[in-house]
Amino acid sequence: MNTLFTFAVVQAFNLVVLVWLNRVALAKILVLRQQLGVYKRKVKKPRLSNRDRLFWSLLSKVWTNWSSELILVRPETVIRWRKRKFREFWRRKSQSRSGRPAIPKEHIEFIRRISSDHPEYGEDRIALELKEKFAVHHASSTIRRYMVRRNPPGDSQAWRSFLKHQAKAMWTCDFFVQHTIGFRLLYVFVIMELASRKLIHFNVTEYPTLDWTKQQVRNACFEEQPKFLIHDNDGKYGQLGRPRGVERAGRTISCRSTFDTWLWQVMGIQGIPIPYGAPNARHTSSG
Protein backbone atom coordinates (compact mmCIF):
# COMPACT_ATOMS: atom_id res chain seq x y z
CA MET A 1 0.00 0.00 0.00
CA ASN A 2 2.82 2.35 0.91
CA THR A 3 4.64 1.42 -2.28
CA LEU A 4 1.60 2.29 -4.44
CA PHE A 5 1.09 5.59 -2.63
CA THR A 6 4.76 6.50 -3.06
CA PHE A 7 4.59 5.62 -6.75
CA ALA A 8 1.49 7.81 -7.24
CA VAL A 9 3.13 10.75 -5.50
CA VAL A 10 6.26 10.41 -7.62
CA GLN A 11 4.23 10.23 -10.82
CA ALA A 12 2.19 13.29 -9.82
CA PHE A 13 5.40 15.17 -9.04
CA ASN A 14 6.88 14.19 -12.39
CA LEU A 15 3.71 15.36 -14.13
CA VAL A 16 3.89 18.76 -12.39
CA VAL A 17 7.56 19.12 -13.35
CA LEU A 18 6.76 18.14 -16.93
CA VAL A 19 3.97 20.67 -17.12
CA TRP A 20 6.17 23.40 -15.63
CA LEU A 21 9.00 22.69 -18.06
CA ASN A 22 6.62 22.65 -20.99
CA ARG A 23 4.46 25.59 -19.89
CA VAL A 24 5.33 27.59 -23.02
CA ALA A 25 4.25 24.77 -25.29
CA LEU A 26 1.07 24.31 -23.30
CA ALA A 27 0.37 28.04 -23.48
CA LYS A 28 0.74 27.93 -27.27
CA ILE A 29 -1.66 25.02 -27.48
CA LEU A 30 -4.13 26.86 -25.28
CA VAL A 31 -4.15 30.06 -27.31
CA LEU A 32 -4.35 28.20 -30.62
CA ARG A 33 -7.34 26.22 -29.39
CA GLN A 34 -9.02 29.39 -28.20
CA GLN A 35 -8.59 31.10 -31.57
CA LEU A 36 -9.67 27.98 -33.41
CA GLY A 37 -12.83 27.92 -31.33
CA VAL A 38 -13.58 31.46 -32.46
CA TYR A 39 -13.20 30.53 -36.13
CA LYS A 40 -15.45 27.48 -35.73
CA ARG A 41 -18.41 29.62 -34.78
CA LYS A 42 -21.11 29.24 -37.40
CA VAL A 43 -21.06 32.78 -38.75
CA LYS A 44 -19.44 34.34 -41.80
CA LYS A 45 -17.44 36.81 -39.74
CA PRO A 46 -16.95 35.52 -36.20
CA ARG A 47 -17.13 38.23 -33.57
CA LEU A 48 -15.19 38.19 -30.36
CA SER A 49 -17.19 37.94 -27.16
CA ASN A 50 -16.39 39.61 -23.87
CA ARG A 51 -15.05 36.28 -22.70
CA ASP A 52 -12.57 36.24 -25.60
CA ARG A 53 -11.43 39.78 -24.84
CA LEU A 54 -11.01 38.92 -21.17
CA PHE A 55 -8.96 35.83 -22.08
CA TRP A 56 -6.46 37.80 -24.14
CA SER A 57 -6.35 40.70 -21.71
CA LEU A 58 -5.38 38.37 -18.86
CA LEU A 59 -2.99 36.36 -21.01
CA SER A 60 -1.13 39.49 -22.08
CA LYS A 61 -0.43 40.21 -18.41
CA VAL A 62 1.11 36.81 -17.58
CA TRP A 63 2.86 35.72 -20.81
CA THR A 64 5.53 37.83 -22.46
CA ASN A 65 5.34 36.18 -25.94
CA TRP A 66 1.55 36.28 -26.25
CA SER A 67 1.57 38.62 -29.25
CA SER A 68 3.60 36.19 -31.39
CA GLU A 69 0.74 33.67 -31.32
CA LEU A 70 -2.10 36.15 -31.85
CA ILE A 71 -3.79 36.05 -35.27
CA LEU A 72 -7.36 37.15 -34.56
CA VAL A 73 -6.65 40.83 -33.93
CA ARG A 74 -3.67 43.12 -33.67
CA PRO A 75 -1.76 43.25 -30.37
CA GLU A 76 -2.63 46.96 -30.09
CA THR A 77 -6.29 45.98 -29.92
CA VAL A 78 -5.68 43.74 -26.90
CA ILE A 79 -3.77 46.54 -25.19
CA ARG A 80 -6.73 48.84 -25.84
CA TRP A 81 -9.13 46.28 -24.32
CA ARG A 82 -6.96 46.03 -21.22
CA LYS A 83 -6.77 49.81 -20.75
CA ARG A 84 -10.53 50.17 -21.22
CA LYS A 85 -11.25 47.53 -18.59
CA PHE A 86 -8.82 49.26 -16.25
CA ARG A 87 -10.66 52.58 -16.69
CA GLU A 88 -14.08 50.95 -16.23
CA PHE A 89 -12.94 49.25 -13.05
CA TRP A 90 -11.74 52.47 -11.41
CA ARG A 91 -14.75 54.40 -12.68
CA ARG A 92 -17.10 51.97 -10.96
CA LYS A 93 -14.95 52.01 -7.84
CA SER A 94 -14.98 55.81 -7.67
CA GLN A 95 -18.72 56.06 -8.38
CA SER A 96 -19.53 53.69 -5.54
CA ARG A 97 -18.00 56.20 -3.13
CA SER A 98 -19.06 59.42 -4.82
CA GLY A 99 -20.60 62.31 -2.88
CA ARG A 100 -20.03 63.57 0.59
CA PRO A 101 -19.99 61.15 3.52
CA ALA A 102 -23.29 61.08 5.37
CA ILE A 103 -23.43 63.09 8.57
CA PRO A 104 -24.68 61.48 11.82
CA LYS A 105 -28.41 60.80 11.99
CA GLU A 106 -28.82 62.87 15.15
CA HIS A 107 -27.30 65.88 13.37
CA ILE A 108 -29.78 65.50 10.51
CA GLU A 109 -32.70 65.35 12.94
CA PHE A 110 -31.38 68.41 14.77
CA ILE A 111 -31.06 70.40 11.53
CA ARG A 112 -34.60 69.48 10.51
CA ARG A 113 -35.94 70.44 13.93
CA ILE A 114 -34.23 73.86 13.91
CA SER A 115 -35.34 74.66 10.35
CA SER A 116 -38.90 73.60 11.22
CA ASP A 117 -39.11 75.57 14.49
CA HIS A 118 -37.38 78.63 13.00
CA PRO A 119 -38.41 79.03 9.35
CA GLU A 120 -36.69 82.41 9.30
CA TYR A 121 -33.29 80.74 9.79
CA GLY A 122 -31.21 80.15 6.67
CA GLU A 123 -28.47 77.56 6.28
CA ASP A 124 -25.79 80.04 7.41
CA ARG A 125 -27.65 80.85 10.62
CA ILE A 126 -28.25 77.17 11.42
CA ALA A 127 -24.57 76.36 10.76
CA LEU A 128 -23.57 79.16 13.12
CA GLU A 129 -25.98 77.95 15.82
CA LEU A 130 -24.58 74.41 15.63
CA LYS A 131 -21.01 75.70 15.76
CA GLU A 132 -21.38 78.18 18.60
CA LYS A 133 -23.76 76.25 20.88
CA PHE A 134 -22.93 72.61 20.21
CA ALA A 135 -19.43 72.65 18.63
CA VAL A 136 -20.84 70.85 15.57
CA HIS A 137 -19.20 71.94 12.32
CA HIS A 138 -21.03 71.47 9.01
CA ALA A 139 -20.84 73.48 5.79
CA SER A 140 -23.82 75.63 4.85
CA SER A 141 -24.33 73.51 1.72
CA THR A 142 -24.63 70.41 3.93
CA ILE A 143 -27.13 72.16 6.19
CA ARG A 144 -29.21 73.16 3.14
CA ARG A 145 -29.46 69.53 2.04
CA TYR A 146 -31.20 68.41 5.24
CA MET A 147 -33.38 71.45 5.98
CA VAL A 148 -37.15 70.99 5.97
CA ARG A 149 -38.58 71.80 2.56
CA ARG A 150 -41.62 74.01 2.32
CA ASN A 151 -44.07 74.65 -0.45
CA PRO A 152 -43.12 78.10 -1.74
CA PRO A 153 -45.98 80.50 -1.00
CA GLY A 154 -44.81 82.56 -3.97
CA ASP A 155 -46.55 80.05 -6.23
CA SER A 156 -49.87 80.24 -4.41
CA GLN A 157 -52.96 81.92 -5.80
CA ALA A 158 -53.19 84.19 -2.73
CA TRP A 159 -49.71 85.62 -3.28
CA ARG A 160 -50.28 86.20 -7.01
CA SER A 161 -53.62 87.87 -6.33
CA PHE A 162 -52.05 90.11 -3.71
CA LEU A 163 -49.35 91.24 -6.13
CA LYS A 164 -51.87 91.80 -8.91
CA HIS A 165 -54.17 94.03 -6.87
CA GLN A 166 -51.50 95.93 -4.92
CA ALA A 167 -48.73 96.22 -7.52
CA LYS A 168 -49.23 99.97 -8.05
CA ALA A 169 -48.82 100.57 -4.32
CA MET A 170 -45.71 98.37 -4.07
CA TRP A 171 -42.03 99.02 -4.35
CA THR A 172 -39.35 96.36 -4.22
CA CYS A 173 -35.74 96.74 -3.12
CA ASP A 174 -32.66 94.59 -3.26
CA PHE A 175 -28.87 94.57 -3.00
CA PHE A 176 -26.48 93.22 -5.59
CA VAL A 177 -22.69 93.21 -5.51
CA GLN A 178 -20.15 94.54 -7.99
CA HIS A 179 -16.38 94.00 -8.05
CA THR A 180 -14.22 96.94 -9.11
CA ILE A 181 -10.99 96.83 -11.10
CA GLY A 182 -9.13 97.27 -7.81
CA PHE A 183 -10.87 94.17 -6.35
CA ARG A 184 -13.09 96.24 -4.05
CA LEU A 185 -16.52 94.85 -3.30
CA LEU A 186 -19.34 97.36 -3.71
CA TYR A 187 -22.98 96.89 -2.72
CA VAL A 188 -25.58 98.45 -5.01
CA PHE A 189 -28.98 99.14 -3.46
CA VAL A 190 -31.89 99.48 -5.90
CA ILE A 191 -35.53 100.46 -5.32
CA MET A 192 -38.03 99.79 -8.12
CA GLU A 193 -41.77 100.23 -8.61
CA LEU A 194 -43.33 96.80 -9.02
CA ALA A 195 -46.15 97.61 -11.44
CA SER A 196 -44.19 99.66 -13.98
CA ARG A 197 -40.67 98.33 -13.24
CA LYS A 198 -39.58 101.96 -13.01
CA LEU A 199 -36.32 102.64 -11.22
CA ILE A 200 -37.07 104.83 -8.20
CA HIS A 201 -33.68 105.10 -6.50
CA PHE A 202 -30.23 103.52 -6.32
CA ASN A 203 -26.97 104.08 -4.48
CA VAL A 204 -23.62 102.35 -3.88
CA THR A 205 -21.68 101.66 -0.70
CA GLU A 206 -18.90 99.46 0.64
CA TYR A 207 -20.64 99.02 3.99
CA PRO A 208 -24.39 98.29 3.70
CA THR A 209 -25.39 99.04 7.28
CA LEU A 210 -29.00 99.17 8.42
CA ASP A 211 -28.79 102.92 9.04
CA TRP A 212 -27.47 103.49 5.52
CA THR A 213 -30.33 101.41 4.07
CA LYS A 214 -32.90 103.39 6.05
CA GLN A 215 -31.48 106.64 4.66
CA GLN A 216 -31.83 105.36 1.11
CA VAL A 217 -35.51 104.66 1.72
CA ARG A 218 -35.94 108.19 3.09
CA ASN A 219 -34.29 109.64 -0.01
CA ALA A 220 -36.49 107.54 -2.31
CA CYS A 221 -39.67 108.64 -0.50
CA PHE A 222 -38.93 112.37 -0.74
CA GLU A 223 -41.84 113.04 -3.16
CA GLU A 224 -43.97 109.90 -2.84
CA GLN A 225 -43.89 106.65 -0.99
CA PRO A 226 -45.44 103.21 -1.44
CA LYS A 227 -47.86 101.36 0.76
CA PHE A 228 -45.74 98.21 0.72
CA LEU A 229 -41.99 97.58 0.30
CA ILE A 230 -40.87 94.06 -0.67
CA HIS A 231 -37.39 92.85 0.31
CA ASP A 232 -35.62 89.57 0.95
CA ASN A 233 -34.68 87.95 4.28
CA ASP A 234 -31.06 89.08 4.25
CA GLY A 235 -29.27 89.74 7.55
CA LYS A 236 -28.60 93.33 6.47
CA TYR A 237 -32.22 94.09 7.36
CA GLY A 238 -31.75 93.07 10.99
CA GLN A 239 -33.61 89.78 11.33
CA LEU A 240 -35.45 89.47 14.66
CA GLY A 241 -35.58 85.67 14.79
CA ARG A 242 -39.31 85.56 15.52
CA PRO A 243 -42.09 87.77 14.11
CA ARG A 244 -43.17 90.57 16.45
CA GLY A 245 -46.34 92.63 16.54
CA VAL A 246 -45.70 96.35 15.95
CA GLU A 247 -48.43 98.93 16.51
CA ARG A 248 -48.92 102.26 14.76
CA ALA A 249 -52.03 104.45 14.79
CA GLY A 250 -54.13 101.71 16.33
CA ARG A 251 -53.10 99.08 13.77
CA THR A 252 -50.74 96.20 14.53
CA ILE A 253 -48.76 94.29 11.90
CA SER A 254 -46.27 91.43 12.17
CA CYS A 255 -42.62 92.34 11.54
CA ARG A 256 -39.77 89.88 11.06
CA SER A 257 -36.89 92.39 10.99
CA THR A 258 -35.72 95.65 12.53
CA PHE A 259 -36.04 97.21 9.09
CA ASP A 260 -39.75 96.32 8.89
CA THR A 261 -40.30 97.72 12.38
CA TRP A 262 -38.70 101.02 11.39
CA LEU A 263 -40.60 101.13 8.09
CA TRP A 264 -43.94 100.80 9.87
CA GLN A 265 -43.36 102.99 12.90
CA VAL A 266 -41.45 105.83 11.20
CA MET A 267 -42.38 105.78 7.51
CA GLY A 268 -45.84 104.20 7.68
CA ILE A 269 -44.79 101.61 5.06
CA GLN A 270 -45.50 97.93 5.54
CA GLY A 271 -42.38 95.89 4.85
CA ILE A 272 -43.00 92.52 3.23
CA PRO A 273 -40.16 89.98 3.30
CA ILE A 274 -40.44 87.60 0.37
CA PRO A 275 -41.94 84.18 1.22
CA TYR A 276 -39.50 81.50 2.36
CA GLY A 277 -38.40 79.24 -0.45
CA ALA A 278 -39.46 81.73 -3.15
CA PRO A 279 -36.44 83.94 -4.01
CA ASN A 280 -38.08 85.14 -7.23
CA ALA A 281 -41.35 86.24 -5.56
CA ARG A 282 -40.43 89.91 -5.73
CA HIS A 283 -40.18 89.66 -9.51
CA THR A 284 -43.55 88.02 -10.06
CA SER A 285 -45.48 89.72 -12.81
CA SER A 286 -48.48 91.69 -11.72
CA GLY A 287 -50.33 90.93 -14.93
96-152 per-position pLDDT tens digit:
555 556 788 888 888 888 887 777 677 788 888 888 888 888 888 888 888 887 655
C-alpha span between 270 and 229 (Å, rounded): 6
pLDDT one digit per residue (tens) for the chain, 287 residues = 455 445 445 455 555 555 565 666 666 666 666 666 666 665 566 677 777 777 777 777 777 777 777 777 788 887 887 888 778 777 776 665 555 567 888 888 888 888 877 776 777 888 888 888 888 888 888 888 888 876 554 445 666 777 777 888 899 999 988 888 888 889 999 999 988 889 999 999 998 899 999 999 999 998 899 999 998 877 778 877 777 888 888 888 888 889 999 999 999 999 988 766 555 565 554 44
For residue 160, the tally of other CB atoms under 10 A from its CB is 15
Q: Which fold has domain 153-283?
A: Nucleotidyltransferase; domain 5 (3.30.420)
**CATH 3.30.420.10, the chain: domain bounds:** 153-283
Residue 153: CB atoms within 10 A of its CB come to: 14
Assess contact for 216 and 200: CB atoms under 8 A: no
Quick one: pLDDT at residue 220?
93
pLDDT reported for residue 216? 94
Q: Are β-strands 185-193 and 170-179 bridged in parallel, bridged antiparallel, or unpaired?
A: antiparallel
Q: What is the pLDDT of residue 267?
A: 92
Which pLDDT score, from 0 to 100, does residue 286 have?
43
pLDDT at 4: 47
Q: How high is the pLDDT of residue 7? A: 44
HSE toward the beta carbon, residue 102, CA cutoff 13 A: 6
CB 244 within 8 A of CB 262: no
